[in-house]
Structure formats: structure tokens, C-alpha cells
A and B are shown apart, each in its own frame.
Chain A
């Protein structure tokens, strides 16, 4: 049509031209000629051509899987979804939602969460549901397309590599499902095909799987990888490829998943309120019961033993002079030493910048993360005893001398405590000193001018309350994960590899499962591995010797000991939130509750940070948190429920009685 019109315009001009010849106007002729040229120029361009400005070198979806390089870029994008658990204000906020930590800033969503502001309509605070399903889609898409990559001479792509990459994607997908499972409960299993972007609302009306289906789906995927033998046990090219998924990572994930699956929270004979959690067809979504309970724990035992048998060892550092293991350095530097012997799988993409930026204010940092008094109190004394069991433990007065124990870091020797330290902090176990920064302790990294400063957390102290907002509301700071080589004031915040799976966790998984299978039968094995953890930490072991602490006398006592050991050893590593949900106990009226219900709500404590030095040293509540039964599982964002008619909300979030 446009062309026709152009032609007619053209004809009109030709007519004009002839008419003008007749009137013989010279100027006119000239002008008309020019115009004819212009009009002709328009006419020769086709309309569609003129509008076809599409980008000529745009990367298209099909081109991703044409080269090895771009295929690896796509795979790197899937790895991206691995979560950072040490950025406490953001992706790792689970720690700040537990009783381990406070995030100072009232405008962080985690503070609103702790005040009870989350509803099914307030949006998914962490966006994990959406984010992880994006990772799942990308992983599945990758698995379905990686075979299209041509194998050509010189491009480095091989069938073996394709299989390896496919298994990496499958592992990541399993990990992402696990992330959803631990936070939201039973998942929607998408399967081995991605959903079309233009799928109708009927096509996306999927239902949730049960707990057992979810666990089996994840474990089956991991088993399939292990059976295929497509992943290396160790990365062959450590220079370039360290950080890729190994068989060990698969086994470690499987070990953790099976530990969770065996836990009381998913067992509706113990967690009876969740018996009524059904989908719209009446299917029970929490479908584990006491039946096969021991078998589930045994599977967890086996899976964890599988990892132990791979030959990883706990990280240890010895004093240069004495040659003895230094427990502080062994524990502290485990987290800042790349790829050490304890690391089964690490996330090299970093995220520690944030932790170092929240060093005490006195080294020009923000001081925004505050471990709670509840966490401080869980650490043993130097005799390996809980504070309420050790007669030597005091909460009054100040130390008259430096501690005998010390360590050397950055060519400087530090005592655990120095003269004038509040006695609550004196003579605690080494892991305490590696984890917590308390008042009057010397900060592990230098200030801008190179000095090592004693951190003061009281009002007016160098890192305490002032008219701004960057100070810890608990009177404590975090040492764990912090790099002693950092110098925040000079913008030096060295990255290191984040521990995703470490042998220490596997030992603790293992002993927890062993104890549940049978205290009596497994006691020697339990003691062996529990003591390995304690020995490395420089804490008295359990045993029958003179110097040793008495062995917990029965399954319940042993469980308490294992739980406590786990809280101390894995503090601030992102475990506590989920452990406290999967561990169950009974409330005063005998009703089953999770540890989270027992511990996470109510008044949490720190020191009296609004007081000056004289009045600072007393347990003071800093925040009353809200936690109830429904918080055990995050709500699924309400729009998801509106959109998918077959999707059921997690218990109690829709306003039903808890």
C-alpha cells in the first residue's frame, strides 16, 4: 500500500514536471528536478527495509550453545545462584533472623522480619522462591541444550566435558531445590523440561510435592550424578577450575539433605500440628512419620560416612615454636585459608567484603552486625563446660592480668584477653575468641594507621553508641570469617573462599544421626567424631580418662551435647536458623515446638549499649522479636497462590489458627 502511494506521489511529480515544461519556467524546472530526485530516493527504499534496523550482532539464545566459551558463561550464570551465607544483611540474613545475631539497621528488611512484619502479602523478603526457581530453570535449560555444542578441533569441547557440565548443572539444580525445601518446605517439582514462557494459567497450575517426594527428587538427582561418574573427585586443573562441583560436593549435599529429612520437624508423629498440612486434593504434604524413622536416620548416617571416607581432614595450624596445634589459629584461619584440607566445597565468588565492612567502627567500618548474648553464652569455658556448669565462671569484675593463652598473627602475639577484661569473657574456649569480638578485646586486623586497637562497645566508646547509627546494639562484634589482613580504613578487604560444606559439619551431621539411630550401639563412633571436633578446638574431650569430661550418659544428654557443639562450631555459618527449625522439643504444656519457636522469639540480649563504661556490663534486652509456629516455613508470596489455583500456602500464613 505504501508503495502504491509513493508511486502516485511520484506520478504527480512527473506530471508537474511536464506542466512546468509547458510554462517554460527555468527556475521552476530546476527546483522540480531536485524534488524529483528526492522523491525518487524515497521510492527506491522499501518500507520494510527502512524499518529493519534490527541489531546485526545481537547475541541470540541459539548462539549460546555454539561455542564452549559461551556455554561456560551460561553455566557460570547458574553457579551464580549459589547463596552467600555470610552477608548477614542480605542473602545470609537467616543468621540475623536466628538468635545468633542482630543487624543494627532498622531499615533493613530483616529488622522488620524480626518485628513480625512479614505476611504472605508483604512479598517474599528474600525472594528466594523466585530466585531459586530461576536457577532451576537455567540449570534444566542448560542440561537440555549442552549437547548441542559442536565438538570441533581446537575448541576444547569434548563429550566428557559435556557430561561433566551437565552433572554440574544437575547438582546445582538439586542444591537450589534444597534451598527452597529448607525455607519453604515441600517444593513444586518442575522436572526435566522448562515451562514455556507463554504457558497458560491452566498449564502452570502445578501442585506441591510432598516432603518425601522432594527429598527423593533431590537425592535421586545426586545419586544419578554419582552413578554416572561424570564429576571428578578432585578438580584436575586447580589453577583454572577450582571451585567447580566435585563428587565430594554431591555426597556432602546428599548428607545434609538426608540429615534434614530425618529430622523431627518433617515427622508428623512428632511435629503433630503439621499433620493437617494438605494440598487441595487432600494429600498430606508432610508425609514422614515414625514409620521408617530409624531407616531415615540410618540413611543420613551412611551418607555422611560416605563423605568422611573421602579422606578430608580437619584444618589445623601449629605454633611455629612449640609445634603444638594452636586451636585459635586452626579454627580462625580455617575460614580465611583458601581451599584448605577441611573444605569439601567452597564458593569462591566472595561476599566477605560485607563482613569486613562490619568490623568495629574504630577501624573505620560500620559495626552493623551484633552477635547476641545468647550466642556468647553458648560457648564453653576453657574447661569445656557450659557456663552454668563451670564453677570457675564469673560474671563480675575484671581480669587482673593477660590470659596465659595466646596466638601469633600478622607477626604479632595476641593474648585471648588482656588485663581489665570483663570476667564474662575471660577463660572461655578458643572458639569464643575466634568468633566473637567483645568489649576491650583487641581487634584482629589493623586500623588505618596500622595499630591494633582495643574495641570499646559502650556508649561513647570507640565503637559504641553515638549520634550516628553505625554501632552494635548488642555490644559485640563478629570475628569469625574476618580476615586478619583486612584494613577497612584503607579499603583492603581481602576475599576468600566461603565454606559451603566442610568436614566439621559432616562430623556433626554424622554424630547427630548416629545418636538418633542408637545411642547404645554407636557410642564409640559418636565419641570419636565429636572429640575430633573438640580436640581441634582446644576443648577437653569426652571420655573416661582423668583429664576428660564425663561422657553424656544417655541419648538425650548426648543429643544436647551434640546440639551445643554444633551451635558453637558452626556459629554464624548459616546453620543455626534451619537447625533450630528441624530440632523439636516440647513447650511447658507438652505441645511439640521447634527450637526456633522456643528460642527465636521474645527478648534477645546484649550488653547495656546505651550506658557508659560503668554501667555497660550487664545483660540487657535489646529487641523483642516475634516468632511463632508459622515462621517455621516462610510464606509463599500471595500472588503465587492467586496465580496457581492448585498451590497451597504454608500452614497458618493464611490467617488460620496456629
Chain B
């Protein structure tokens, strides 16, 4: 909010009257504000803005207007000559009666104790991406988010709240309008608030679902007044942020020869072959293909449109919105094919919220939201396509032969023609349909006692997905075996394949019912405020197209939750919460868990003695909470752990004289396990304070989270016990701690308003118990390491010839280690490198530090914003299939273009990216997991950059437009990172994923 407010003052010709008529629009950054009091200072004269935020007032010259609104900082404007004043009000950071969203309700901000953070302004979520999960990285303290692919339609980020503190399911609970739902495909335009709940005080009410934190999203409701129409449109184009680049054919061949000769083997490519590849005199027999260029376009595009209408009378208010998002990916297409195999994603969103005041004390709300999406993609998945681009080396075969036939090497299962996969294998057309519907009734029970109300909510959500698959296994392909010695024609050998597309379909569908009833009590007795909540809810989720009986059974949970709050004079706050609920997947008697929490708050700045420091610190509040939450998700395909299972398809045997009697095999699969939920004990210490005359607001939280009874399959079971799956148990314990800081600063110098804000999140987990057997050396043990630690060797660089000749330097047994190979550290000093020398290496691929900071500036109608997002304490290994040069003895796999930066005998560079080349693996362990391949995954990104101009109303008023703005919005424009082989956020592996994209878009919005 501090980021993008604009003050518009349009000077007009001065009037000579002593009293002038002043009119104007009062707005906040979301639009005009109705009901704002506009009064003349020192008098009782005044007016209030109408539904359009408009006021008209006769004012004496040289008087001062006072504009006040609850929740906003009061503004005073001196009237000299102006007759038109547009005022943009700033939200008051200290606003006492402001409410914020908490679990199952709202609370006054001043009295909130729980660790809760919100997106400061919903505008921040309006980014040129389809998937909202990609908008929140760095925007909220406490959220860890990483985006591992930008494939249209499958690009959601992984999100954790306060990191990962468990071996089992670590995804947060996501509630949209109070109901467990996904938020990936919600149109940000429809969102009213976006918050996360982090500590026990905030999440205990969610009981067995609360341990991983909660994401709370509410959608927009109608506002009283005549219909307001908002329109928004942008169009952008996108390109990959960074893609792996590969060596050209000649380099590939030279490197292959070096890899062979440097290990004492004969070169593979003759000088003549290299020369012909270089001259390209016969590109069909000596191809040199850049498969990246063959398959991917330079630019994609996306566009988005949204239109919403909101308004209503005293008795009914509505909000209706319609949105469209369209994205064209970066695959090339083949115009010759009859069918469409381009990659594209189109989504239509709709949202309706209708609120009716049935009686004075009864309110009925109906919400219907959802989307329909269409995705079209080649039948080869993006990851496969990238993988095959990496596998097809440049000199293996051309793209097509002169007759248009596809080239490929026989044995194509491993090195298939990427162009063929993209354009001739057919396509998948996916349709998704989601509805979120809910009906709510709220009854004021003041006639029983003041402050009591009753609310009930019933929701029914349905989802379906349909994939029409038109595809073939492998298109017809050819390989040239040479040229006819007489005619010179290519001799093409047909290697089979099918061009006819088969038809297949796969569908999935789910539905969910949710019911919630609650009693709310909130009352003020002088300086005392009390509140209470008692709630019952139940969920029934069903997979309608389950493949087996177990997963077809409804997933159910039910429980109650309660909260009691008390505060005195907005100085001392007390809060107690509990959740008591259960889920269907545990044994009777072990289903229900009770999760209490309590919190204390002290607004120190409201104490009398604080007056002394008020010039320096304007606001100070301390918060402390402690309590429990649970996690009942097993994160295994397994449900009903309390039942032993029989695998009725374990692989049987065949009998009979003609082998005709095949019996299926029965085998005990899982043994019954007496397990129950995982518990999380959370403590949170928070401090909120304002400095510099409330211009700088800081919120900081320090937390610890101890997870106990984490589900694990027992690890310390020898294989000779012979069970198929180790028994599940509540065996693990993990500690997690961290802190978060959010800071906001805003300042106005003359007509320039500047805002700065940032947040910083850190967390670190420690395994206390994971039921692994104890290892012979302390550095091998997992206890004390973070969850998802990585084991490997510590590299001491590359061997020099002196070191090779020195037998006292440890190396692997049996391996033919040469100078230029990676040297590992002998941790146990036994003179040999083996498993005992492996230890934890590097930070995890999920960052420990996430942060974001932004700057906004506004001057007259112009505004500028830049938001940076970054991650730290993150490292990843580059490795995986097709990463190692000539891994499969050259049978497949490209090499990266930085291959020239390698160790070789003429240039024994000790800091080379690539160690001494080798052809095939197994003769050394250069590519074993080691710090040699560890890369710093920290980065800073210019996540968004926007520049906009508010078109003066006088230009557009004639066509009925009240407000309009044009803007440029860039997304992922710059990345600063030490790593450059592919997009740093894709992380671990070989980079063969659909890369992240940058988007440049131009947009416009109108308000009618």
C-alpha cells in the first residue's frame, strides 16, 4: 500500500470568490472510497463522499479540509485556489479498529498475537503469470517458494511455510474463503486478502491439519453503491530466462576424441569427418544440428483480461468477475501437420459473490467461483522434450532428410529425434473444470446476548479433468547409411515407426463437501474486550475416478475448534485456542487429537510510561505464543495404516504343459501399524514497532517448531527380515527454528512519494531422530542434519600429476585415477576413498533464506515500482543422466557449450569446470556426488518492474471512465546469480526442464 499511492492534484484557474466550491474524489489504492468524512477544519461543516468517492463542498478560501476515514491516516489539505482535489488516503499502520483475517474469523489488528503475515497489497499478486503460486515468492515473510518449471499449465511453485520440518507431507493447508481449496488458478483480480498463519496461536484451531502452516485467501465481496466496472487487459511476450547451451558438432567431435585419447583409447572421429562437419558440405551424412534452435522459439506470448462489476444496495451487494488468461509457449510447430501440437494454455475464470441482507440480523452469502482451462501440448512432455534435446548430440543425425522424412538413430528409445517428438507424435488436449461454490448464513444473536452471532457455511466443490490424447508411439524415421556410389543419392533405411495417431482419453474428477457452523462472541465492556469462538466442521473429499478401492473411499475429517480472547485497554492481550479433530486414516481410538495453544500480547506503547520514548518509537507491541498443531497426512500412497494390506498383484507364476495356467501372486504388503498424527509444538516470539513518526513499521518474529511422532517407515530394519515394506511408525523428530522480519517505510517529499519495503525469512531444520542405523563415523550420521540433507564427498580439486604419483594420497580402490580427475578428501584418514568419507555437503536445494524488497515511487500521474526477490543458503548439485559428457560411451548425450573449460594435459587448469574428460563412466568417480559439483543456488531476481501512468480523468471522463491507467509490467527481468548453466531456480539436476520465463507486458485498466 505504501508502494503505489499517487496524489493527483490538478490545478485550475483560481477563482476570485471568498468561498469556493470544491469537489474531488477520495480514494485509496483500490479505488474510490465511499463514506469518507470531509470537513472544514475548526468547524462542524462537512460532507461525506458518495459511492463514487465524490464530494462537493463550499469552502471559504484559505481554510483547511480534514479528510478522515477509519483505518486511514487523516489528511489535511489547505484550500487556496483549487476547486478540484483528488485525495488518496493512506492506510494507517496503527489503525486500531482495523481487522485482519485469522483462522475461522477476523481479529482487530492491535490485539492479534499470532504470527500472521499478509500480502501488503493485492496489486502485488497481479503479475503476468498464469499461476498465482508464482506470485508470492518474497512477498510474504515466512513463505519459502521455488518455481522448478514454467511449462504452461504445469508451472506451479512449491510452497512451504517456515520451511520443511518433517519427513512426511510438508505442504501447508490452503483455505480459500474458509474452505480447503487450491489457489493456483484463482484470478488475482478476485482476491481481497492473502495471508498466512504461522505459529501455534494462529494454527492450533486447525488441529491435525495445522502443523505446516495455513494460507488464507478471501475473495472480493460487493460494495454498496452504484455498479462499478473495472476492466483490465495486458498483453506480453515471454522468453526463457536462461537455457542450457550445447557444444556445436565440431567441438563435440573434438572433445569426444580427446575424451578417448586422454584415456589411452583410439579417437572416434576421423579428421575428415570433423572437416566435413565443419564445412557442412554434406549435412545429411555429417550433420551439425543445434537442437535447441530446432525445437524452441525465441518468444512466446501471454495476455490477460479481466472485467468485474461490483455494487449493490443496502439489501444486496454483488461482485461478479470474468477473466481470461492465454499463454503461448515457446515450442516450434510444424505447419505441414494436420493437427495442432503447439503448447498453449487458456483459462477462463469466473467469480460471483452475492450477499443478501435477509433481515436486519440475517445475512445470506452465495459464492460461485471457478475456472475452465484448455491446455494443448505435444504428447511428449516438456521434461522429456528437454531431455531428448540434451541426448541428441549434434552430429548424430540431421533433423530431416531432403524428402522431409524424419532422421533418427535406431535404438531410438534413447536418442529420439526431438523435432519428431515435438511435431509428429500427436498432442494432448487437456480440459480442466473447477467450481467452488459456497453458501453462508450469518445470524446476529444480539437478542440473546450482545455480541453473539451464529454463522454456518456449506460448500460444494467439483473438479474434473479430461485429457484427449492423440498420439503415436514413435513417428516413422530413417537413417542414412551412406550415398549410392553411382547416383550419389542418400541411402535411407526405414527404421519403422507409426504415423497414425491413436486416440485415448484419461479423465479424473473430484468433489468436496464442507460444512461449518460456529458461534462467535465479541463484546466490549469499557476497557475490557472479550471474544469467543466455538466451531464445528466436517469435510468429505472424494476422488471420483480412483483407480482402486482404497483411494475411491472418501477422505473425511471432522472436528471442533475454539478460541477465547481477552484484552484490556488495548494494552494487554490474552488468547487461548484449541482444535480437536480427526481424520479417517487412523485406527479408531487414535483418530482424534487435541491441540491447544495460548498467547500473550503487550502493546507497550499504550503504557503511560512509554510517552518518554514516543518521539523515537511510536508504536511497540510484544507477542508470545506457544502451543501445538498436528499433521495427519502420511505423504505415502498408503491410507488406513492401521490395516494390513495384501498385494494381490505381486507377480505370480505360470504352470501347465503349455504354460497356460497363470496364477496371480498374493503377498503381504504392509503390516498393520499403530500410528497416529504427527505433532508440532510451536513457540513464537514477536515484536512490532514503528519508528520515524510511523513512517517505518517493522514486524519481527522468532520461532521454534518441534515435530514429534513424524511418520516414517522404520529404517533400522535389516533386509533379511524379508518384509516387503518396513513398518510405519511415529518415529521421527525434527527441530526447526528461524526468524522473519518485515519492514515498511514510506516518505513523501513534495510531490514525490517513495516507499521501500522488504522482508526476510530464515529457517533451519535439524533431525533429532529418523530411525536410521548408527554409522561408524560421526560425519556419516543424519541426526543433527537438516531434513533432506545431501551426502557426498568433499572435493579437494583436481589431481595433479605429483599427487597421482604420491601413493600416500588417498583415492578410490580399483579406479584408474589420472591427473585431472576429481580428488576427494579422506575423512577417516584410512588411505582409501569410500563410503566412510561421505558426509553432508552443501546447503539444501530448498533455500534457508528467502527475501524480497521493493521500491515504489510516484510523482503526479506517474508511478514506478521494482521488486526484487532472492534466496540464500541454497546449493544444488549439477548431475544426473546426460549431464556427464560421453556418459554412455558416446552413445547418447550432448555436451554443454562450456566443455572447453576443462582440464587437459596441455592446459592443466586446476579450476576447470570439467575434470579430465573420459568416455563412458565407471573408470573413475569424477561425477560422484561431491562438492565439486555443488553450485551456489542463491540469487536475486528483479521479479517485477512496473511503470505506469494514470491518464488524467479530464481526458477520459467524457467516455464515462473515472480512472484509467496504462502500464508496463516486466516479470523476471533480471537475475543475478553465480550460476549460469541454466535458470538457477530450476535447481538440482541437469537443467532439462522447461525453463523459467521472463515476460514483458503492456497493460491498461479502466474504472467505469
A-to-B contact residues, CB < 8 Å = 1-2, 5-6, 8-9, 12-13, 15-16, 19-20, 22-23, 25, 27-28, 31-32, 35, 38-39, 42, 47-48, 50-55, 57-61, 63-64, 70, 72-74, 76-77, 79-80, 82, 105-107, 111-112, 114-117, 119-121, 129-130, 133-138, 141, 188, 190, 194-195, 197-199, 201, 204, 206, 238-244, 338-339, 348-350, 361, 364, 366, 460, 466-470, 495, 497, 610, 626, 628, 637-640, 642-644, 647, 655
Contact = CB atoms under 8 A, between A and B. Distances in A.
B721 A76 contact: no
A137 B538 contact: no
Interface stretch (B315-323, B338-346, B655-663): B655-663
Q: Which of A51, A82, A114, A129 is most buried by chain B, counting CB atoms within 10 A of its CB?
A: A51
A38 B441 CA distance: 12
A467 B80 CA distance: 86
17 contacts: A2-B536, A9-B519, A58-B646, A76-B653, A76-B663, A77-B652, A106-B921, A120-B834, A134-B722, A238-B657, A348-B659, A361-B410, A466-B479, A468-B409, A469-B414, A469-B888, A495-B659
Given A137-B723, A243-B656, A460-B481, 14 more contacts: A2-B560, A16-B454, A54-B553, A54-B640, A60-B643, A115-B922, A197-B671, A197-B726, A240-B656, A244-B655, A348-B655, A470-B410, A495-B659, A655-B813
A350 B776 CA distance: 43
Contacts of B830: 655
Given A107-B887, A467-B396, A51 B556 contact: yes
Given A2-B558, A51-B582, A243-B654, A64 B410 contact: no
A134 B888 CA distance: 33
Contact of A74 (B409, B588, B666, B724): B666
Contacts of B559: 2
Contacts of B668: 61, 138, 141
Contacts of A23: 447
Interface string B710-727: 000010111111111011
Given A51-B556, A58-B550, A73-B666, A130 B775 contact: no
Contact of B666 (A54, A70, A105, A240): A70
B891 interface: yes
Nearest to A637: B719
Contacts of A655: 813, 830, 832, 834, 836
A58 B551 CA distance: 12
Nearest to A243: B655
B445 interface: yes
Contact of A107 (B536, B671, B832, B888): B888
A637 B536 CA distance: 52
B665 A106 contact: no
Interface residues of B, number: 110
Contact of B646 (A22, A60, A244, A339): A60
A119 B716 contact: no
Contacts of A111: 922
Contacts of B45: none
Given A206-B720, A644-B718, A610 B266 contact: yes
Closest CB pairs A-B (n = 5): A137-B722, A115-B922, A121-B835, A77-B665, A469-B891
Contacts of A116: 813-815, 922
A75 to B, nearest CB: 8
A492 to B, nearest CB: 15
B651 A348 contact: no
B927 to A, nearest CB: 12
Nearest to B670: A197
A368 B998 CA distance: 45
B648 interface: yes
A129 B720 contact: yes
Contacts of B456: 35, 38-39
A643 B720 CA distance: 11
Given A76-B665, A120-B835, A466-B410, A242 B723 contact: no
A506 B361 CA distance: 95
B920 interface: yes
Contacts of B921: 106, 112, 115
Interface of B: 266, 358-359, 361-362, 396-397, 409-412, 414-415, 441, 443, 445, 447-448, 454, 456, 458, 479, 481-482, 496, 515, 517, 519, 534, 536, 538, 549-550, 553-560, 580, 582-584, 588, 591-592, 594, 640, 643-646, 648, 650-659, 661, 663-668, 671, 714, 716-724, 726-727, 729, 773-776, 813-815, 830, 832, 834-836, 838, 881, 887-889, 891-892, 920-923, 925
Contacts of A76: 652-653, 663-666
Contact of B644 (A60, A117, A361): A60
B359 A28 contact: yes
Contact of B409 (A2, A32, A467): A467
A190 B409 contact: no
B447 A64 contact: no
A199 B454 contact: no
Given A50-B558, A204-B718, A469-B411, A77 B584 contact: no
B666 A51 contact: no
A243 B664 CA distance: 15
A486 to B, nearest CB: 16
Given A48-B591, A51-B583, A72 B549 contact: no
B588 A339 contact: no
Nearest to B836: A655
Contacts of B881: 107
Contacts of A25: 359
Given A19-B448, A121-B835, A338-B657, A73 B648 contact: yes
A468 B665 contact: no
B185 to A, nearest CB: 28
Contact of B645 (A12, A58, A201, A639): A58
A338 B659 contact: yes
Contact of B661 (A48, A53, A119, A240): A240
B656 A242 contact: yes
Given A5-B534, A106-B891, A467 B720 contact: no
B814 A626 contact: yes
Given A47-B582, A119-B835, A130 B719 contact: yes
Contact of A5 (B454, B560, B718, B720): B560
A8 B534 contact: yes
A208 to B, nearest CB: 10
A513 B385 CA distance: 59
A115 B723 CA distance: 32
Contact of A51 (B266, B496, B558): B558
A52 B723 contact: no
A50 B667 contact: no
A466 B656 contact: no
Contacts of B550: 55, 58
A19 to B, nearest CB: 5
Contact of B663 (A9, A72, A466): A72
Nearest to A644: B718
Contacts of B889: 106, 469
A222 B415 CA distance: 50
Q: Which of B580, B594, B651 is most buried by chain A, counting CB atoms within 10 A of its CB?
A: B651
B588 A52 contact: yes
B441 A31 contact: yes
Nearest to A137: B722
Contact of B410 (A204, A468, A495): A468
B536 A55 contact: no
Contacts of B266: 610
A130 B721 CA distance: 9
A289 B582 CA distance: 65
B665 A73 contact: yes
B859 to A, nearest CB: 53
A495 B662 CA distance: 13
Given A19-B447, A51-B583, A338-B658, A12 B454 contact: yes
A493 B671 CA distance: 39
Contacts of A42: 515, 517, 536, 538
